[in-house]
Amino acid sequence: MYYGLRKRMFDDGISIARIAELLNAHRNTIANKLDGRRDFKVAEIMKIKNAFFPDSTVEELYAEKAA
């Protein structure tokens, strides 16, 4: 699970549906990726970061353990 990303999504009110829309993907696909059942592609990671969390680092967002 991507704890950093989930936390920022919660803090900033960004829904899974908004990320799915950005990536032109199904909501369930994004939920599976957030839960660690599937992997994000590098391009997807950068697109999410740049669109919603430009002030965060990739390392902060995609940490797989709680800080």
Q: Is residue 67 part of a domain?
A: no
Tell me the pLDDT band of 66, cut-offs 50, 70 and 90.
Answer: low
Q: Is residue 34 part of a domain?
A: yes
Structure tokens, 37:
């059942």
CATH of the domain at 11: 1.10.260.40
Residue 19 has what pLDDT?
A: 98
How many distinct structural domains can be found in the chain? 1
Nearest of 1, 9, 6, 3 to residue 67 by alpha carbon: 3
- pTM exceeds cut of 0.85: yes
Q: Is residue 18 part of a domain?
A: yes
Domain range for 47:
3-61
Q: Is residue 66 part of a domain?
A: no
Encode pLDDT of 6-65 as tens digits: 999 999 999 999 999 999 999 999 999 999 899 999 999 999 999 999 999 999 888 776
